[in-house]
Chain A
Amino acid sequence: DVKVTQSSRYLVKRTGEKVFLECVQDMDHENMFWYRQDPGLGLRLIYFSYDVKMKEKGDIPEGYSVSREKKERFSLILESASTNQTSMYLCASSFPTSGSTDTQYFGPGTRLTVL
């Protein structure tokens, strides 16, 4: 079974703090994604990585950055956390669509509260 793990289920930070959210997948997937989930807005893509050290901005990258130094690990960084970044953050991974499947597999999520 594919396993995507996220470093924390719940996180509480203060405004202005630097926040790191970590995601690890064990299926050798090339693609990794960070989404945020907000009620009534569904999932919105923050950043996408299609290989080590490669990244693309998603629909809402402002206030976020990412790092992918190893294939299995994709980190989301909030340089200076703000209250409007309070949300559920979901990581996902997949093979490229040229592969046998393009299903995205999700981690359990990190619920971040910024005070």
Chain B
Amino acid sequence: AQSVAQPEDQVNVAEGNPLTVKCTYSVSGNPYLFWYVQYPNRGLQFLLKYITGDNLVKGSYGFEAEFNKSQTSFHLKKPSALVSDSALYFCAVRRINTDKLIFGTGTRLQVFP
């Protein structure tokens, strides 16, 4: 069965430090992977996606994600966190042969000044 897991409910990081939000997936075949962000009282905004090609994907707001096939992971990273990055982050994988996504449970990122 296809699934995606976000093992951390919350990640705390000091402003200026690097941040990582973890995501692992389980899918047969080649995965299509996504990261979305949700700011308070807003809908989800697309950050980046991996379809094929370079394992390091760059996205909006200085975020990037590294696709690791052997570890079945797609961790979200940023070299220097901002307080304004504080939000809820969702990883998602596309279901094989459909247009539908499976979302993780979300990770709340808190960046402290």
B-binding segment of A11-19, A63-71, A74-82, A96-104: A96-104
Q: Does A27 contact B (CB under 8 A)?
A: no
B104 in contact with A97 (CB, 8 Å): no
B99 in contact with A102 (CB, 8 Å): yes
Interface residue ranges, B against A (CB under 8 Å): 6, 9, 32, 34, 36, 41-46, 49, 90, 94, 99-101, 103-106
Chain A CB count within 10 A is highest, among B44, B103, B104, for B44
Residues of A within 8 A of B41 (CB): 108-109
B43 in contact with A41 (CB, 8 Å): no
Tell me which of B36, B94, B100, B104 contacts A33 (CB under 8 A): B100
B100 in contact with A102 (CB, 8 Å): no
B49 in contact with A58 (CB, 8 Å): no
Q: A5 to B109, alpha carbons, bound, how many Å?
A: 26
Q: A41 to B32, alpha carbons, bound, how many Å?
A: 21
Chain A interface category by residue count:
20 to 34
Tell me which of B9, B42, B106 contacts A109 (CB under 8 A): B42
Interface residue ranges, A against B (CB under 8 Å): 4, 31, 33, 35, 40-45, 48, 50, 58, 90, 92, 94, 96-97, 102-109
* B46 shortest CB reach to chain A, Å: 5
B105 in contact with A42 (CB, 8 Å): yes
Tell me which of A48, A96, A109 contacts B43 (CB under 8 A): A109
If A97-B94, A106-B43 touch, does A45 touch B49 (CB 8 Å cutoff)?
A: no
Interface pairs A-B: 9 shortest CB-CB: A106-B43, A43-B103, A42-B105, A106-B44, A42-B103, A108-B43, A103-B46, A109-B43, A107-B43
Q: A45 to B94, alpha carbons, bound, how many Å?
A: 12
Residues of B within 8 A of A41 (CB): 105
Tell me which of A43, A105, A108 contacts B46 (CB under 8 A): A105
